[in-house]
Homo-oligomer: A and B are copies of this chain.
Amino acid sequence: MSIVLLAKNLGLSISTVSRALNGYDDVSAATRERVVLRAKAIGYRPNPSARRLGAGKTSAIGVILPAASSTGQAVDSMYSSLLCGVVTEIEPAGYHLLASMQAKHDAAREAALYENFIRGGWVDALLIVRTRVHDARLELCRAAKIPFVTYGRTKSDEPYAWVDTDNEKAFHLATTRLLDLGHRRIALINGPDEYYFAQLRRRGYLRALASRKLKPEPAWILHGDLTEGSGHELCRSLLIRSPAPTAFVCATDSMAIGAIAACREAGLSIGSDVSVIGYGNSSLSAFCDPPLTTMEHQVFENGRYVGRALLQLLRKEIQPADVHYLEPVVLVPRKSDGPAPQ
């Protein structure tokens, strides 16, 4: 009974107090100031549950994070930066982040999770991450008419709001760099093919090869989860064949670390016998041995972009079709790559 107390205290009606605090213009400036001051003085805080019920909004933005590995015991650390950026933007606007996790990808369970979030009325908007080539989650959101932004693109006929990094360009860049260094046998250690980013990266890789009239070798395009273990295993599987690749472009820095470990085990010298390029410019990449040549993208800044877009969509200041932000990726040269061996 808090706003009624405040109203009584001020000798005003509840509705006037409510409208004063919410910035409606049908209350005089003098009254508004009086209300705001008194509210602060007696420490009034609107009850969020009541506010939600009254307004029909939750002031929460939902995100469901995919587990990094099959064990479901962790989340790709990239999302920590992304969410930091999102929170930085939405918190000042009074929004909170409602986070859930998805242990393993299972279409039915995933749909149920999102269904619950949306239909259950838990959130006003959604952030969709780790988009797949064809992603049923978009349809779910559209059907429920709930605003959403995806981090990563997908194949969709209808326009939707997305923020992404230029995966294709990035891997074109990295592959070209290796080609310029004289490499001709370049492997792509990619992420799961169901994710659109993996396809885009492969496209960049293939374009780079094609521009030099090189035929891609299908056996050198591999898919794994994004962990060190996977990078290690895939790289090893390539090294025991002959001829083996002389260069590896990896989907994450973690995979690159795994690949480097495999190369070292094979007695190869990284940066001379063999070249490895990672992706993400993780804090570790500058300190491993050798320092990792990698691709940098500004995840935190992307998160802020996502946050701003969500707010604008919620306020209907913008249409989903207007949210298309493709971040360029820059290559950070270090020591894990070098001229192709003779």
Point out residues on A near B: beta carbons under 8 Å: 45, 47-50, 52-53, 56, 58, 60, 67-68, 72-75, 77, 79-81, 83-85, 87-88, 91, 96-101, 103, 116, 119-122, 227-229, 232, 254, 257-258, 260-261, 264, 283-284, 286-289, 300
Contact = CB atoms under 8 A, between A and B. Distances in A.
Contacts of A74: 77, 80-81, 84, 300
A264 B289 contact: yes
Contacts of A287: 228-229, 232, 257-258, 260-261
Contacts of A116: 45
Contacts of A284: 228, 254, 257, 284
Nearest to A59: B122
A227 B97 CA distance: 26
A3 to B, nearest CB: 13
A288 to B, nearest CB: 6
Contacts of A101: 83-84, 87-88, 91
A121 B48 contact: yes
A298 to B, nearest CB: 9
Contacts of A283: 227-229, 254
Copies of the polypeptide in the assembly? 2
Contact of A228 (B77, B79, B121, B286): B286
Pairs of residues from A and B, 6 with the lowest C-beta to C-beta distance, nearest first: A49-B52, A73-B300, A77-B77, A261-B287, A75-B80, A228-B287
Nearest to A55: B49
A248 B283 CA distance: 20
A264 B291 CA distance: 12
A87 B284 CA distance: 28
Given A261-B287, A288-B288, A300-B73, A120 B83 contact: no
Nearest to A261: B287
Contacts of A119: 45
A58 B288 CA distance: 45
A199 B52 CA distance: 44
A49 B45 contact: no
Contacts of A72: 84, 88
A96 B100 contact: yes
A229 B77 CA distance: 18
A322 to B, nearest CB: 26
